[in-house]
């Protein structure tokens, strides 16, 4: 039901023609869809009722993100809701949650989450961005939805420890520069914090906390990827049924059937892994890292293959701006990079498995 | 003098000439489309005057009457520069000339060879149609005989650079009452003829390199028919084999950007915790596998050239060249983005990422244009391995009795 609702909204507000118009206008998002999502309580799905949300679970967030991924919807849902609001919920004090979350739940304000820095990969330390007192300084790039966000959760170093802080972006000590990206439907920016005022989220910090937070982000992102992969797969299937080649439907050739069956297989495994990761994280347990990494790697590869082969099945048409294949061809690449590449998650996964296999060494 | 000494003399002469004449193209430069076309033609003209255009072709056809060894030497020397060229040049020099040489008259070859090799005209390829790509023989554009002329009506699509072409190679149906590839005939069409209309198609790159070409009552003199009536399919096969063989030319290997050597360099220069990306065994395994494929293509290309030179053109295994190189391009350019993690999805002056983005997009077209991956695999299986073709509903059925 939730799934159908989001699908219908995307059909209405961000059909492919609208995506093309947004790219042409260099517009960073579709605010109307955002407003409606706020009104319907979709933005507040996982935000506690006490903070103006609906108080549902992680599962609902995942479903919404999957459907937005299917539509390549240009709204900052992953930035503002899956990352920033979750960070506030998990790391903020009750008072901080009550202060920041209600406006995110209605969509009145948009937040983003800045973790990437020019010279480190995900979870590499030290961070160049530092916090002293109530000031943050350092470069963060790329930051998703940087130009539409009002607030930014910054991952920074405080006295050698990871910590998170909320920054109001509308201040002189914050400099935002737009980046030109491969996927123009999710705009990013570079943000330079020059001793900007910030408020540290005091309820949780430290590298173990950030690592767990990224497991959650990766799991939610896997749903977005799986949604995109499914869209690309069925786009290819539909086209192969319409197109006649050598007097036969393209879809009747075994080469095409096998290609799509392989993608379906990868997609089903990726979806199952994402669902498992969501359950594992909800319970919290020692296997969370491996579950999240498996979700991330499987979803990334499934989406990339689905996006490439969808374009391929379309032939020359697939290379045109008027066809919709390119939205996924670009988005699959962006999502493959936006939260640590497969290379990074491969290492995280194998380290987690090795630690589990040899707990004494891990403790040492 | 030995062959070798002669080659060396020729090489030195070419080097000196290039140093004097190609100096302005020592570094890569970007030109607006129209200027690129004009410069490409001017460059051909200059080479022609010096005897370096179409070196191995006869003088009567605008060539230099030299040897294929000389042509190869010049090509290698010229590749050190970034001399201007565009799709229409290759379509003319390689594909069109192959068709005329193989199927046209000596007179046609001399006439159009001279115009082409002198840089007077460039060409586009008017083969594909909305319902006829892989299944090219299903094309519907009609040519009807009218005295000494043909009158052509139909729609072509994906015509690369047709908006800058002077002439086009065209395949049209002249007899719908016979099986589909039997009723086709090959023509040369002046793109300035009344009734030719070229409309741009926007690509996923944002550019419009290819077009829809509408042909409405276009008159083509019978003198511009290549080969016999009904021989069009054979002409197309000649063109397509040449197109596929060309994909390789001067590209694979070396140290140019995108080559595996350059990827190794870039990985070594990409910092990772305490070292570089090249420390990763996963990265090494990928690079090694790509190098083996890249070098395989290069070495396979040499063998192909030898076979082609000893007569008989390219063997059917030529299909694997584009099959391998297009996927290699796609995988390696995704990797170049991956290397820089999140930042790899955004432009940066330092990393020339716009070029990486472009190549990653372009690779998707490479896997389709001029014979898509799946079609090439069928060719390898059927023509090289001798496996039976797919069941076809259209086999031997006259075109006008096909149900679709
Ligand atoms: C950038 C670009 C430039 C081009 N330039 C030119 C040009 O200048 N002139 C020109 O005439 N044409 C040009 N083309 C057209 C090109 O040759 C065709 O796109 C190509 O032949 C494929 O045809 P199609 O687009 O109709 O795809 P289709 O034939 O519809 O193929 C769609 C998909 O079906 C697959 N397929 C086909 N048959 C089978 C089978 N039996 N079994 C399994 N799968 C199969 C294909 O591999 C492909 O993936 C260009 C194309 C591109 C992309």
Which pLDDT value is given to residue A360? 66
Mean pLDDT of B216-244: 94
Which residues of chain A have a CB within 8 Å of the CB of B357? Answer: 182
Are A84 and A103 within 8 A, CB to CB?
A: no
* Domain limits, CATH 2.40.110.10, in chain A: 112-204
* Domain limits, CATH 1.20.140.10, in chain A: 207-363
Which pLDDT value is given to residue A356? 85
Which pLDDT value is given to residue B133? 96
Which of A337, A340, A348 is the best residue to mutate to test the B interface, defined by the most B CB atoms within 10 Å of its own CB?
A337
Burial B141-171 (b: 16+ CB within 10 A, else e): bbbeeeeebbbbbbbbbbbbbbbbbbbbbbb
**Averaged pLDDT score across all residues of chain A:** 95
Are B168 and B99 within 8 A, CB to CB?
A: no
Which residues of chain B have a CB within 8 Å of the CB of A141? Answer: 343
* Domain limits, CATH 1.20.140.10, in chain B: 247-384
pLDDT tens track for A37-66: 999 999 999 999 999 999 888 889 999 999
pLDDT tens track for B345-374: 999 987 789 999 999 999 999 999 989 999
β-bridge pairing A188-197 and B271-272: unpaired
Which pLDDT value is given to residue B1? 67
DSSP class of residue B166 equals: S
Which of A179, A319, A320, A322 is the best residue to mutate to test the B interface, defined by the most B CB atoms within 10 Å of its own CB?
A319
Structurally, at CATH architecture level, domain B247-384 sits in: Up-down Bundle (1.20)
Of B330, B390, B404, the CB nearest to A308: B330
Q: For residues A29 and A44, give the distance between their C-alpha atoms in angstroms, rounded to a whole number.
A: 19
- The total number of residues written for chain B in this structure: 404
Which residues of chain B have a CB within 8 Å of the CB of A19? Answer: none
Q: Give the per-residue SS3 of chain A.
A: CHHHHHHHHHHHHCCHHHHHHHHHCCCCCCHHHHHHHHHCCCCCCCCCHHHCCCCCCHHHHHHHHHHHHHHCCCCCHHHHHHHHHHHHHHHCCHHHHHHHHHHHHHCCCCEEEECCECCECCCCCCCCCEEECCEEEEEEEEEECCCCCCEEEEEEEECCEEEEEEEECCCCCEEEEECCECCCCCCEEEEEEEEEECEECCCCCCHHHHHHHHHHHHHHHHHHHHHHHHHHHHHHHHHHHHCEECCEEHHHCHHHHHHHHHHHHHHHHHHHHHHHHHHHHHHCCCCHHHHHHHHHHHHHHHHHHHHHHHHHHHHHHHHECCCCHHHHHHHHHHHHHCCCCHHHHHHHHHHHHHHHHCHHHHHC
Which of A343, A349, A350, A351 is the best residue to mutate to test the B interface, defined by the most B CB atoms within 10 Å of its own CB?
A343
Question: Three-state SS for B126?
Answer: strand
Distance of CA B386 from the midpoint of ligand 1 (Å): 23
pTM (predicted TM-score): 0.95
* Domain limits, CATH 1.10.540.10, in chain B: 3-122
Has residue B294 got a pLDDT over 70?
yes
Cis peptide before A61 (omega within 30 of 0): no
Which residues of chain A have a CB within 8 Å of the CB of B282? Answer: 343, 346
Has residue B281 got a pLDDT over 80?
yes
Those residues whose C-beta lies under 8 Å from the C-beta of residue B265, and which sit 6 or more positions away, are none
Mean pLDDT of A208-212: 95
Establish, for the pair of chains A and B, how many residue pairs have beta carbons separated by less than 8 Å: 130
Are A311 and A303 within 8 A, CB to CB?
A: no
Q: What is the third-level CATH fold of A112-204? A: Butyryl-CoA Dehydrogenase, subunit A; domain 2 (2.40.110)
Distance of CA B321 from the midpoint of ligand 1 (Å): 17
Q: What angle do CA A302, A307, A309 make, to 5 degrees?
A: 95
Q: What is the third-level CATH fold of A2-109? A: Butyryl-Coa Dehydrogenase, subunit A; domain 1 (1.10.540)
Which pLDDT value is given to residue B34? 95
Positions of E strands within B45-148: 123-126, 142-146
Which pLDDT value is given to residue B254? 53
Which pLDDT value is given to residue B255? 56
| Closest residue, chain A, to B356 (C-alpha) | A182
Among B205, B125, B207, B194, residue whose Cα is nearest residue B158 = B125
pLDDT tens track for B243-265: 876 665 444 445 567 899 999 99
Q: Which CATH number fits domain B3-122: 3.90.1150.10, 1.20.1730.10, 1.10.540.10, 1.10.3720.10?
A: 1.10.540.10
Q: For residues B44 and B142, give the distance between their C-alpha atoms in angstroms, rounded to a whole number.
A: 34
Structurally, at CATH architecture level, domain B124-231 sits in: Beta Barrel (2.40)
Q: What residue ranges line ligand 1, CB within 6 angstroms?
A: A 243, 245, 250, 253, 255-256, 312-313, 315-316, 319; B 124-128, 133-135, 158-160, 210, 365, 368-370, 372-375, 378, 390
Burial (CB count within 10 angstroms: exposed 0-12, middle 13-18, buried 19+), residue B404: exposed
Q: Percent of chain B having pLDDT more than 90?
A: 82
Half-sphere CA count of A128, side-chain side, radius 13 A: 16
Which pLDDT value is given to residue B251? 45
Q: For residues B84 and B28, give the distance between their C-alpha atoms in angstroms, rounded to a whole number.
A: 9
Confidence bin at B315 (pLDDT 50/70/90): confident
ipTM of the complex: 0.96
pLDDT tens track for A282-327: 887 778 999 999 999 999 999 999 999 999 999 999 999 999 999 9
DSSP class of residue B88 equals: H
Confidence bin at B391 (pLDDT 50/70/90): confident
Of B133, B347, B367, the CB nearest to A180: B347
Q: Give the per-residue SS3 of B230-251.
A: CCHHHHHHHHHHHHHHHCCCCC
Confidence bin at A230 (pLDDT 50/70/90): very high
Rg (CA), chain B: 23
Among A278, A260, A234, residue whose Cα is nearest residue A64 = A278
Mean pLDDT of A164-189: 97
Nearest CA to ligand 1 atom 29: B134
> Does 3.40.50.720 match the CATH number of domain A207-363?
no
β-bridge pairing A111-114 and A151-158: parallel
Which pLDDT value is given to residue B3? 81
Which pLDDT value is given to residue A363? 46
- Smallest CA–CA separation between B364 and chain A, in Å? 7
Mean pLDDT of B14-24: 97
Q: How far is residue A56 from each of residues A52, A63, A78, A98, A213, measured CA to CA in Å?
A: 12, 12, 17, 17, 19
- Report the interhelical angle of A58-71 vs A207-242 (nearest 10°): 40
Among B160, B142, B138, B163, residue whose Cα is nearest residue B151 = B142
Which pLDDT value is given to residue A364? 41
- Smallest CA–CA separation between A277 and chain B, in Å? 23
8 Å CB contact of A182 and B346: yes
Q: For residues B184 and B172, give the distance between their C-alpha atoms in angstroms, rounded to a whole number.
A: 6
């Amino acid at each position: 039901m939730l799934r159908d609702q989001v699908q219908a909204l995307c059909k209405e507000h961000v059909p492919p023609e609208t995506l093309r118009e947004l790219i042409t206008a260099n517009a960073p998002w579709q605010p109307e869809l955002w407003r409606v999502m706020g009104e319907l309580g979709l933005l507040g799905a996982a935000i506690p009722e006490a903070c103006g949300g609906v108080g549902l679970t992680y599962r609902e967030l995942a479903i919404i993100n999957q459907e937005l991924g299917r539509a390549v919807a240009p709204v900052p849902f992953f930035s503002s809701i899956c990352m920033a609001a979750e960070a506030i919920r998990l790391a903020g004090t009750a008072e901080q949650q009550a202060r920041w979350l209600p406006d995110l739940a209605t969509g009145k304000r948009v937040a983003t989450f800045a973790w990437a820095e020019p010279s480190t990969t995900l979870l590499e330390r030290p961070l160049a961005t530092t916090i002293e007192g109530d000031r943050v300084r350092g470069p963060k790039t790329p930051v998703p939805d940087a130009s539409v966000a009002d607030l930014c959760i910054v991952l920074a170093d405080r006295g050698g420890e990871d910590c998170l802080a909320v920054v109001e972006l509308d201040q002189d000590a914050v400099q935002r520069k737009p980046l030109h990206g491969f996927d123009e439907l999710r705009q990013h920016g570079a943000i330079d914090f020059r001793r900007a005022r910030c408020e540290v989220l005091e309820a949780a910090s430290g590298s173990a906390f950030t690592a767990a937070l990224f497991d959650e982000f990766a799991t939610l992102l896997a749903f977005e990827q799986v949604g995109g992969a499914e869209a690309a797969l069925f786009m290819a299937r539909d086209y192969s049924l319409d197109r006649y080649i050598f007097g036969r439907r393209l879809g009747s050739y075994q080469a095409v059937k096998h290609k799509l069956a392989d993608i379906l297989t990868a997609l089903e495994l990726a979806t199952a892994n994402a669902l498992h990761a969501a359950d594992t994280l909800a319970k919290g347990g020692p296997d969370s890292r491996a579950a999240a990494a498996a979700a991330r790697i499987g979803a990334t590869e499934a989406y990339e293959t689905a996006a490439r082969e969808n374009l391929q099945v379309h032939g020359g048409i697939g290379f045109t701006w008027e066809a919709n294949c390119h939205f996924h061809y670009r988005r699959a690449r962006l999502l493959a990079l936006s939260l640590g590449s497969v290379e990074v998650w491969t290492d995280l996964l194998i380290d987690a498995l090795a630690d589990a296999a040899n707990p004494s060494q891990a403790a040492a | 003098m030995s062959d070798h000494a002669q080659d060396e003399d020729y090489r030195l002469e070419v080097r000196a000439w290039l140093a004097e004449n190609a100096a302005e193209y020592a570094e890569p430069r970007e030109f607006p489309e129209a200027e690129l076309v004009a410069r490409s033609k001017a460059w051909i003209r200059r080479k022609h005057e010096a005897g370096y255009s179409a070196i191995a072709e006869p003088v009567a056809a605008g060539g230099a009457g030299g040897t294929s060894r000389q042509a190869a030497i010049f090509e290698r020397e010229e590749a050190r520069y970034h001399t201007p060229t565009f799709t229409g040049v290759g379509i003319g020099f390689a594909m069109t000339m192959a068709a005329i040489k193989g199927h046209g008259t000596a007179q046609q070859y001399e006439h159009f060879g001279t115009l082409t090799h002198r840089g007077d005209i460039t060409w586009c390829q008017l083969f594909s149609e909305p319902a006829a790509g892989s299944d090219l023989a299903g094309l519907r554009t009609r040519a009807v005989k009218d005295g000494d002329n043909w009158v052509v009506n139909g729609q072509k699509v994906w015509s690369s650079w047709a908006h800058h072409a002077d002439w086009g190679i065209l395949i049209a149906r002249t007899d719908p009452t016979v099986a589909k590839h039997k009723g086709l005939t090959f023509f040369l069409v002046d793109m300035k003829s009344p009734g030719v209309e070229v409309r741009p198609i926007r690509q996923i790159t944002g550019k419009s390199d290819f077009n829809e070409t509408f042909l409405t009552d276009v008159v083509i003199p019978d003198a511009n028919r290549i080969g016999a009536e009904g021989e069009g399919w054979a002409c197309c096969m000649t063109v397509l084999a040449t197109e596929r063989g060309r994909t390789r030319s001067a590209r694979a290997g070396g140290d140019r950007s995108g080559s595996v050597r350059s990827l190794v360099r870039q990985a070594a220069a990409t910092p990772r915790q305490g070292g570089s990306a090249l420390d990763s065994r996963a990265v090494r395994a990928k690079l090694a596998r790509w190098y083996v494929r890249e070098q395989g293509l290069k070495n396979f290309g040499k063998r192909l050239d030898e076979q082609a030179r000893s007569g008989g053109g390219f063997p059917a295994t030529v299909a694997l060249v584009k099959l391998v190189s297009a996927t290699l391009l796609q995988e390696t350019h995704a990797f170049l983005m991956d290397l820089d993690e999140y930042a790899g999805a955004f432009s940066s002056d330092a990393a020339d990422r716009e070029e990486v983005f472009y190549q990653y997009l372009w690779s998707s077209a490479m896997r389709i244009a001029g014979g898509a991956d799946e079609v090439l695999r069928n060719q390898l299986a059927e023509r090289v391995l001798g496996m039976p073709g797919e069941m076809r509903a259209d086999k031997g059925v006259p075109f006008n009795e096909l149900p679709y």
